[in-house]
Chains A and B, each alone.
Chain A
Amino acid sequence: MNLLDGLWGVLDLLLVAVLLLLAVAAVLSSDRRRSMMLFIVFGLVLALVWARLHAPDIALAEAAIGAGLGGALLMATLRRDTHQQTDRFPQHPALVWGAGVLVMVLGTAIAWGLLSILPTVEQTWRKGAAVDAQLAFSGVSHPVTAVLLNFRAWDTLLELAVLLAAILGIRALGYVRATYVTEAAFSQLAVWLVPLLILMAGYILWAGAHSPGGAFQAGALLAGAGILLRLAGYSSAGLPTARWLVRLGLVAGTGVFLLVGLGLLGWGQGFLHYPVAYAKWWILLIEMLATVSIGMTLTLAFMGGIPQKEAA
């Protein structure tokens, strides 16, 4: 048993070392394409690190959003950028090192600040026990979902609002010309991978109530399906073609979340304080609409906000 623990220890140290190396390499690489590749690999290794820390929810989100969708977005950006002949960062070594040192100082300061306030929070800073004690009143049986959608629902609402603000910003930049090459191989793949992705998104959403999963991971899977459709040559990427439907879909998550909160406030419950008997259903409603909104937002972000109609 001891040998096995030692092996895990070595593996964990290796993972951390690789993570740091990838981060440094991604930042210092002068070639943009290489930087992006390294960043994607960094995301995957980071997902492994989260998994080793027994945080499967974050590992899922990191792999799907950080590495998968982030990578797709970066690649799409790179494609748009090919018209400019330059493919190098203006890098002055002093500037790079200066920025690096500055970030390190800032990071150390933030870490030190956090560490200095932690012990003041009721002798222990681990909230796991408190969450477990209250879990029965949350409407779900998975502690992470309970925190995200009930105990700290306010934070999650703001996260959704940030996503909404981001897509509104992207859309405000106006039309973009499509820059992808559609691939025959993708249309073959899309035929049976897209239904599977939608099914998986539904499962992950439902599973969020009792095990790792939830709206953000499910939304990322839907976005994966959308991007696949777009690359396979469907110009609308499976999104509704009616404008008002797209707009409705984008605001649905944030909007309904807010309305439920305000409604409960009006009902005398307090903002986002679900009555215990119905908590599960309120959470499910919010998570379902959030999934749709997140999927739409990420797919549209990949397509540049307002995709221009292609000449058929």
Chain B
Amino acid sequence: MILDALSVLLLLLGLFFFVSGLLGLWRFPNTFARLHALTKADNLGLGLIMTGLLFQVPDVLWAIKFVLVWLLALVASAVNAHLIAVFLHRQQERHDESA
């Protein structure tokens, strides 16, 4: 019962971060700020949801799989954000040179 309550709490917290990230994606003025908002949802939001689900696993194998999924998502989102940011940064530099 206590575990269920913990799960619900963590899932709701994770959901809050996802909703915040979504709002940021909509409302923030430039791509760098939007990336910042997105990574909050990806990393912290997904992390909280994973932790919430960890209290519901039937055995250790499930837990390992959950953590592995989260780690892969972390790496993917970090690399993605990095690539987009680097691309934009270069574009702006080029733009400054030509101006």
Whether A186 is near chain B, meaning CB under 8 Å from some CB there, is yes
Asked if B83 and A185 sit within 8 Å, CB to CB, the answer is yes
Counting contact residues on chain B (CB < 8 A from A), the size range is: under 10
Asked if B75 and A189 sit within 8 Å, CB to CB, the answer is yes
CA distance A183 to B82 in the complex (A): 11
Counting contact residues on chain A (CB < 8 A from B), the size range is: under 10
CB-CB under 8 A from A196, the residues of chain B are 72
Asked if B86 and A185 sit within 8 Å, CB to CB, the answer is yes
Number of A-B pairs, beta carbon distance below 8 Å: 11
CA distance A183 to B79 in the complex (A): 10
When each residue 176-216 of chain A gets 1 if its CB lies under 8 Å from chain B and 0 otherwise, what string results?
Answer: 00000001011001000100100000000000000000000
A258 to chain B, nearest CB (A): 37
Which residue of B is nearest A189, CB measured? B79
B58 to chain A, nearest CB (A): 15
CA distance A183 to B87 in the complex (A): 10
Within 8 A of B (CB), among A82-131: none
CA distance A193 to B76 in the complex (A): 10
CA distance A189 to B72 in the complex (A): 11
A41 to chain B, nearest CB (A): 13
Asked if B75 and A193 sit within 8 Å, CB to CB, the answer is yes
CA distance A193 to B71 in the complex (A): 11
Asked if B83 and A183 sit within 8 Å, CB to CB, the answer is yes
Which residue of B is nearest A192, CB measured? B75
CB-CB under 8 A from B86, the residues of chain A are 183, 185
Which residue of A is nearest B80, CB measured? A185
When each residue 43-74 of chain B gets 1 if its CB lies under 8 Å from chain A and 0 otherwise, what string results?
Answer: 00000000000000000000000000000100
Asked if A185 and B75 sit within 8 Å, CB to CB, the answer is no
A245 to chain B, nearest CB (A): 31
CB-CB under 8 A from B72, the residues of chain A are 196
CA distance A60 to B70 in the complex (A): 18
CB-CB under 8 A from B75, the residues of chain A are 189, 193
Q: Closest 10 CB pairs between A and B?
A: A185-B82, A189-B79, A185-B79, A185-B83, A183-B83, A189-B75, A193-B75, A185-B86, A186-B79, A183-B86
11 A-B pairs within 8 Å (CB atoms) are namely A183-B83, A183-B86, A185-B79, A185-B82, A185-B83, A185-B86, A186-B79, A189-B75, A189-B79, A193-B75, A196-B72
